[in-house]
Amino acid sequence: MIAAPPRNAKFVNPPYRAYIRNPELAPRLTAMSEYLRWNTSLPPRLSELAILITARQWTAQYEWFAHYPLALKGGLDPKIAGDIAAGKRPDNMKDDEAALYDLAMALYRDKHVSDAVYTAAREKFGERGIMDIIGIIGYYDLVSMTLITMQAAAPNDSVPPLPVLSK
């Protein structure tokens, strides 16, 4: 069985064009996507923040293009998205955004989550919420790798592309 894109999309966007190349994996990834996009304990503002952080880590242009408008629609301050695009920690975050950002960056940058970062995340999201955040960033790592591998270009007709950051 080959999975259909979520929400009965009229056409197949990346990464689903890649997923359907593996008929056994496609329905599993689609089910994970369905949960992580629409059914976690997080509001859209925070889910999309996690996705933007992940897109920035990979400089995944298509991912940024697809989720930047959703983040703003979900209530994320455009200044926060702009700072993330620039590769810097936003200074105007709400407490829950800061807890999510710090958790994600501890994983990406430090490969270690300190007690202080964990406690702040647990206070804001609970254990389930922490796992939802880890699930979102882990799944969108896979999405970003897929999009980069298949060279999925963003049209960037309405969203400025991510700048390439020096290492």
Using alpha carbons, select from 78, 85, 89 the residue that is nearest to residue 57.
Answer: 85
Q: What is the mean pLDDT of residues 6-34?
A: 75
Q: Do the domain assignments include residue 156?
A: no
What is the C-alpha separation between 45 and 71, in angstroms, rounded? Answer: 6
Total domains present in the chain: 1
Q: Is residue 43 part of a domain?
A: yes
Q: Give the C-alpha separation, 52 to 71, whole Å.
A: 8
Give 38-59 pLDDT, tens digit per residue.
999 999 999 999 999 999 999 9
Q: How far apart, in whole angstroms, are the C-alpha atoms of residue 91 and residue 21?
A: 42
In the chain, the N- to C-terminal Cα span, in Å, equals: 42
Question: Is residue 155 included in any domain, yes or no?
Answer: no
Cis peptide before 160 (omega within 30 of 0): no
Nearest to 135 by CA among 123, 125, 124, 120: 125
* Residue 126 domain-assigned (yes or no): yes
Is this structure's pTM higher than 0.85? yes
Q: Is residue 1 part of a domain?
A: no
pLDDT digits (tens, 9 = 90+) for 103-158: 999 999 999 999 999 999 999 999 999 999 999 999 999 999 998 888 887 876 78
Please spell the DSSP secondary structure of 17-42, one letter per residue.
Answer: HHHTTSTTTHHHHHHHHHHHHHSSSS
Instruction: Tell me the pLDDT tens digit for each residue of 80-100.
Output: 999 999 999 999 999 999 999
**Is 142 within the bounds of a domain?**
yes
Domain assignment present for residue 157? The answer is no
21: containing domain: 14-149
Q: What is the DSSP string of 124-137?
A: HHHHHHHHHHHHHH
What tokens appear for 55 in the block?
């897109």
Displacement of CA 2 from its chain's centroid (Å): 24
CATH code of the domain covering residue 98:
1.20.1290.10
